[in-house]
A and B are shown apart, each in its own frame.
Chain A
Amino acid sequence: QQQVKQSPQSLIVQKGGISIINCAYENTAFDYFPWYQQFPGKGPALLIAIRPDVSEKKEGRFTISFNKSAKQFSLHIMDSQPGDSATYFCAAGGGAQKLVFGQGTRLTINP
């Protein structure tokens, strides 16, 4: 079964700290690994994505680390801010068609 397992379910981080969310996948055919950010009442929005030919991708305060051999990838949010409080979803798939999502992590950044 094509599953993506995400942890933790919820996370509380102090302002300025590092938020880390982890995901693991099963299907080695997956070649696209995006992270989405969702605010209450809104649809998920693409935050950052990586392909398996690189081990890390950084965009501003957001970094994806990718471990192909372990079939794991993670999102790191540096210098976390209260505005980062949202639900984060990892996903895996083959491009834009059959994208499988993790269960989501509710992140709260305390001021």
Chain B
Amino acid sequence: EAQVTQNPRYLITVTGKKLTVTCSQNMNHEYMSWYRQDPGLGLRQIYYSMNVEVTDKGDVPEGYKVSRKEKRNFPLILESPSPNQTSLYFCASGILGGGYTFGSGTRLTVV
């Protein structure tokens, strides 16, 4: 089944403790992206990648890192999480002109 898989689905962590949210897609898509969803703000793009080793900032990149060492994987790294990063995170993948396929989301709480 064609899909974008994120892990974990739920995560509660403490301020400052480094964490990684994994994302993997099995559709051989060139493009991958991370979004955060907050009430009233819609989905805001954090980072995106156009291919292996090619990444760029989205609209809200502060406090996040990404890497794209393999085509199928695009992990999101929070090196020092803060409470304002509490949010619902989505990974997505796609092809040029084809839109994005989204994962099921990771609900992160930073206390």
Contacts and interface: CB of A to CB of B under 8 A. Distances in A.
Interface string A13-53: 00000000000000000001010100001111110010000
A95 interface: yes
Nearest to B97: A95
Interface string B4-48: 100000000000000000000000011101010000111111001
Interface residues of A, number: 25
Contacts, number: 69
Interface stretch (A61-69, A75-83, A96-104): A96-104
A73 interface: no
Given A96-B99, A97-B48, A101-B43, A43 B90 contact: yes
Contact of A43 (B40, B97, B99, B105): B105
Contacts of A41: 104-105
Contact of A45 (B29, B40, B96, B102): B102
Interface of B: 4, 29-31, 33, 35, 40-45, 48, 50, 56, 58-59, 90, 92, 94-105
15 contacts: A34-B99, A42-B105, A43-B4, A43-B102, A89-B43, A95-B97, A96-B29, A97-B50, A97-B96, A99-B33, A99-B100, A100-B45, A101-B44, A103-B40, A104-B42
